[in-house]
Every structure is written in C-alpha cells, then in structure tokens.
Structure 1
Amino acid sequence: MAAAVNSRLSKGIIGRLRLASQGLVGPGFNSAADAVRWMTAMQGQDLQAALWAVGQRVPGSRIGDVRSALDRGEIVRSWPMRGTLHLLAPEDLKWILGITADRLLRGMAGRHRELEISAADVGAAADAALQLVAGGSAASRAELFRAFERSGQSSAGQRGIHLLGILCQRGWLVQGPLAGNQQLVMAFDDWIKDSRTLDRAEGIAEWLLRYLRSHGPATERDFSWWAGIPLTEVRAALAEVKGQLVELEFDGTSYWLSPETAALLDGGVPGARTVLALPGFDEFLLGYTDRSLVVPPEHANRIVPGGNGVFMKTIVAGGGVIGTWARSATGRGAVVVPQPFDAVNGLRPAAQKSFELQAAKYRRFLGP
C-alpha cells in the first residue's frame, strides 16, 4: 500500500497503536497460546516477567494459566534470536532456528573459544544430553550439567549454560515443563511433535509480516535488530509482503503496520487514558531498536539503570512510559509501588486510580 503522511500522528499515537497491535488495549487474546502465537516471539529471559507479559494480554488470566500452557507445551521457551530466551508457539521454533541459529552461533564463536567449547565438545555434550532424556524423559538443569560432567564437559562458570544454549539452538534440546521456577529439559522432537517447515526467504517474509502486524507501527530496522536478520534480507522480504500492510511516514521515517491497526486512525485510537503496569523486558519496549518514541530520552537510564541490560517494570500511560514500578512480597499480598518520572507531582489522580486498578489486576494474576 502507498505511504501516507498522516498529520494526526504523534509519538503518543504511535505508542497507542503499538499497544493495540500487541493486544495491550482492546479485547486482548483468549489464551496464553493465542497471545504468544500472535506475537510470534515474546521476550522471556525473566520468567516471572514473561508470565505477566502474557497475562497482561489475556484478560482474566492467572499465573497458573500461563504456567500450565508451558507445562502442556502449548507455548515453549528457548533461545531463537539475539542469544536471549523468548516464548514462542511450538510449531514456529524449528523454522525460526533454521533462519537464526547459524548466525547466532557465529556471533558467539569468540565467547565459546574463551569457554573452550569446540565442535567436539558440543558433540560430546549432545550425546550425553540425549542419552539422559531418551524416551521422552525430562531432566533438570542440574541433572543435565552432571551428565555433561560425566562426559568430560565442565559446566563450571557459564560453560554449562552455553552448552545448553547451543544444544537448544541446534534443535536437539528444548526447555519443557516447569519444575518450580526452572524448566526441565527434553529432547526437541519428544516435546514438540509438529513443526512447520519454511525455507529461508519464505520464513523471513512470514516472520516480518507477523512482526509488523503484531508490533506495528515499526520499521524495517526494528525488525532487523529484533530478529537478528541482515537488513538486505529484510528489505527483500518487505518487498514481498508490503501489499498486505499500510505504510505511514512520521518524522521522515517509514513505519509499517496492519490495515486493521491503521484503521484505528479513522475510528479513534484507543488507549488515550489507559494506564498499564507492564513487566520488565516487555515487548512494548524490547520489541524495537529505537525506543525513543515511547520513552523520553532523558529518562532512558531510569528504565535500564547504568545500562546494565536489566529493564525495569514500566508504567505506561497514553502510549508512553511515564515511570517505573516496584513490587514487594508475593501473591495477593504483593505491594505495588509506582515510581513516576515526575517525582514532584507524581501521578495525576485519574492515573493514580488507574494504576491502583492495575496493581489489583496484578495481584489477582499472581493469586494466593
């Protein structure tokens, strides 16, 4: 579709359109599996944050619902891109790894040399792991690392987790059901019975289309960074799928989104008064390489203090981040404390009331 320069666009409206495309405003999704499948991949290195990220998109859900979806294999958690854990639909993991794994592993080659992980070491670790989980068995991470040790592969320091990551990226292992707050490890084909097959060009085109539909308005550079796919391949894929998208121009940059989300510009973009308590690492922030549209640059350090890679929980109002929040205690006794960027005036009364409703929703999600 042709580009449109929309005089009504602003940073806030782009943020609200993203909330709509991600299911954070509007009807949301019927289940954890539906939410994850729509998003294609959701940041998941912090398990508790990932559970709440799904919960925010599934009205009325509880933490047990999302955990059960993991336990049943309706959603899976692995390292498909950027060397970081994500939640995915099980049928999508193998073909996405087929696109990303080689590049990911090449990018980690220097670190693997530091850890003295060779191809022979990976083979020995794979043999030990697959013997441990043969016949549909599941193993804890500690059991897996002991199996590595018995095969002559040290798991000390970060060596064990890097070996596990390699075996998952190669599609030999996958994280399966939960045991407390850790996931058990299983053989990939024992846990995921049905996997789609797409060639590289077809897969990138589908992935890009799904990303722009679920994350848009977003740019080709956003997707290139998010998925770890070279920009030249992204541009080739965009040429294939742009007829199914709407292009908007804002500040000289092209943003792409679904026709359904773009139609909200005519009927009224939701979320003007919506206040959300989002988890750290939520896709609303982590889904884009340029976050300045939704986070004022002067407050960026409040989101990732000291640039340490740990993203704080955020308060989003009207499509933009206006502060962070913290939690003490657990379950229904959790105390949720707002930390607005405007420390002098705090939250306005209406926003404070909305935030309190979000805090109550979060406590209900955590359960007793």
Structure 2
Amino acid sequence: MAALAKVRVTPKVVGRLRLASQGLLGGFSSVEDCVSRMGAMQAQDLASAFWAVGQRVPGSGLSDVLESLENGTVVRSWPMRGTLHLVLPRNLRWILAITTDRIMRSAATRHRDLGITEADIGACSDLALERVSGSPGATREELFKIFESAGQATAAQRGIHLLWILCQNAWLVQGPPAGAGGKALGQQLFVAFDEWIPESRALDREEGIAEFLLTYLRSHGPATLSDFAWWTGIPKTEVKAAHEAIRAELVELVVSDVSYWLTPETAALLDDGVPGARTVLALPGFDEFLLGYTDRSLVLPPGHFEKVVPGGNGVFKRMIVSGGEIVGTWARTGNGRSAGVEAEPFVADGLSPAARRSFEIQAAKYLRFMER
C-alpha cells in the first residue's frame, strides 16, 4: 500500500499502535522470532532485556531467553550507538559494517585519551583470539589479565574500550552467560566471532539500510525517519534514500504536522479502532517502547520524565504502561518466595481499581517468568 493519503491521529493512538507493532498486544512465537521481528532490542541491562523479550513472547520464561544466548540463536553486542542490544547472529556482521565506522570516529578522541593505538588494538586482538579460539570463551576479567600481562593497561575503562573495539570489528562477540550453569544475569563469555557466528548474511550498505529501516518501522511504527536515524546512528541522508526505496510499502500518519511511518498491517488497526485502550503492562527499564525513539513525549509526558530517569542519569526505571501511555514506574521487592512487585503511579490517586487489578496480573506474570 503506498502512502497516497495522510492520516491524522492523536498521540495516544500512536502509543497503542506502537504496542501492537512491538508485539505487546499479541506477541511473537519465540525468543528468536521476537528478536528477529524487533530488529534489535536494548540490552545494556541484561535482566531488563530478558523481561522485554518475556513480555513479547507469551508463555516464555527466563530459561528460554538464557537458552537462546547459550546456544547462540540470539547474541548480545554493540551494533549501534555504542549500546548493547540483542540481535540475530546472522544479521550482526552486516549491521556492524554499516554502523561501525561512524561510531569509531565518534569515539576517536576518547580512545586517544586512553592511549589506544592501532598497534594496541592489533596486539589485543591477537591475545584475545589466541585465548578464546577453540574454547568455550573467556570472561572479561580473564581477558583483562591477559592484556595486563602483555603491558596493555585496562584501568579507567581502557580495558572495556579495547573489548568494545574488538567486538565492533567482528573479531569477538559476547557468547553464553558466564555464570555457573549458565544461570547468571550478569556477564557473558567473550568468544571468537567467526566460531560463534559461522554464517552471516551479506548485504551491501544501501540494501542493508533499507532492510533495517523497514524492519524498524514494522516493529516500532509509527515512527519518524529521525527516530530511526537516531536509533541506528545512520546519517539522515542515507536514511532518506532508504525511505524512498521502501516508501511504497509504508503508510504515513500525521501527528501535530509531523510525518510518522508504519506498515499497512499496523495501520489497518485504525479501521476498527486501535486495541489496547485498557491494556496495562509492566515493562522493564530500557524497554524499546520508550528508548526506541528520539522523541519520547508521545508516550511519556515530559513532566514525568524525571520520575522514569531520576536526575537524568541514564538509568531508566521499570515502567507501567496504560492505554499506550506511561503512567508510573514499578519496582521488585524482596527475593525468592518473598519477592513482590510495588507500583509507583505518577498521580497521587494512583491506578484505577481496574488498572490496579490488571497490574497485579502483570506483576504475577513477571514473577512467574523470572522463576521459569
């Protein structure tokens, strides 16, 4: 369907359409299907990323997401913006080919300050690959010790920047969880990229950007081209060219005279009324529903932004979403059998009785997920 006519909608409708496109109203069939359909999912906090997947895959548990990392059907790396995401392994190499050069240039000053040279990168690449090749992998601390023994300092974030560079160049990638029995929610082992991901898709730059944009708009639409340019770090001129290549597959919506793009399948929900008006969700911190866009005001009133990101410190709290709008935060309390969930609505009178009951169902769903 070509975007022959502009459709005007309200911000609240945009939020509910995004719930639908992100799989938060219906869901995806598996962990791999979820990550594939989303294109990439925020994963700087691994436990939050697990629950982000869990909310989109009905009936799944923590063990299902851990298993996907353990067997390599999903990987966690820095494909864009210097931020960790979950992606499909077969897509990681071509995404890095599109995004790495620009982000490396943006980090050049920091790397000079840390005294990281091309010779250092080459030396650390040799050391790391010698350690992990043909093995189950190595922890960050193990690699740091190897670097230090060869005269490569790792303090003051120099070590993590070196590992980041090796991953950006597709020499290393994060593999299975590093904890005993693979049940840790923290670190992962670093493994050799070519061994962990033996087969990668090959896309040229223009083809890759067009596919990435279409995947993003399918899973995040309605969204703007600026949203995608920010999300990926791809220059706007290239984003606009990719948009022209796929425009016939999109529908245009207008909100406050700004063009938003989505697929005809998502736009079709407008015909009979967009679902989700009474849907209440307990989303993790760093969820794509909020962080997948440069302009977050459509789903989070600016007056409440500080309550989600206290002090603007970059740490996003867990979010309560009602009818496509963020209306509060929530926190986990206790551990084990005493674990619970506490709601923190933005407004003084709190959630309505119906919304409170829905949230309690969500809380129980979260606790079951973490136990599976």
TM-score, L = length of structure 1: 0.97
Out of 214, 217, 224, the position equivalent to 1:219 is 224
Partner in structure 2 of residue 39 of structure 1: 38
Out of 311, 317, 342, the position equivalent to 1:306 is 311
Q: Distance in 2 between matches of 1:176 and 1:65?
A: 15
Partner in structure 2 of residue 2 of structure 1: 3
Q: Distance in 2 between matches of 1:120 and 1:3?
A: 54
Partner in structure 2 of residue 289 of structure 1: 294
Matches within 5 A, 1:67-82: 67-82=66-81
Counterpart of 1:135 in 2: which secondary structure? coil
Q: Distance in 2 between matches of 1:73 and 1:129?
A: 20
Out of 309, 312, 324, the position equivalent to 2:329 is 324
Partner in structure 2 of residue 15 of structure 1: 15
Partner in structure 1 of residue 369 of structure 2: 365
CA offsets, 1:191-221, max 9 Å, x none? Answer: 0111001111110010001100110000000
Q: Distance in 2 between matches of 1:111 and 1:252?
A: 39
- Equivalent pairs, count: 365
More displaced stretch, 127-136 vs 13-22? 127-136
Unpaired runs of at least 5, structure 2: 179-183
Q: Distance in 2 between matches of 1:156 and 1:204?
A: 36
Matches within 5 A, 1:83-94: 83-94=82-93
Counterpart AA for 1:25: L
Contact 1:5 1:250 in 2 (8 A): no
CA offsets, 1:311-364, max 9 Å, x none? Answer: 11100000000011111223553211110000x211100000000000000000
Matches within 5 A, 1:1-368: 1-7=2-8, 9-26=9-26, 28-179=27-178, 180=184, 181-331=186-336, 333-342=338-347, 344-367=348-371
Q: Distance in 2 between matches of 1:74 and 1:331?
A: 29
Structure 1 residue 239, shift from structure 2 partner: 0.2
Q: Distance in 2 between matches of 1:320 and 1:215?
A: 15
Q: Distance in 2 between matches of 1:90 and 1:151?
A: 31
Contact 1:332 1:367 in 2 (8 A): no
Structure 1 residue 3, shift from structure 2 partner: 4.8
Counterpart AA for 1:216: G
CA offsets, 1:32-80, max 9 Å, x none? Answer: 1110010010000000000000000000110011010110101000001
Q: Distance in 2 between matches of 1:332 and 1:41?
A: 33
Counterpart of 1:142 in 2: which secondary structure? helix
Counterpart of 1:337 in 2: which secondary structure? strand
Unpaired runs of at least 5, structure 1: none
Counterpart AA for 1:20: A
Q: Distance in 1 between matches of 2:69 and 2:259?
A: 37
Counterpart AA for 2:293: Y
TM-score, L = length of structure 2: 0.96
Q: Percent identity?
A: 63
Q: Distance in 1 between matches of 2:264 and 2:214?
A: 12
Q: Distance in 1 between matches of 2:247 and 2:336?
A: 45
Partner in structure 1 of residue 181 of structure 2: none
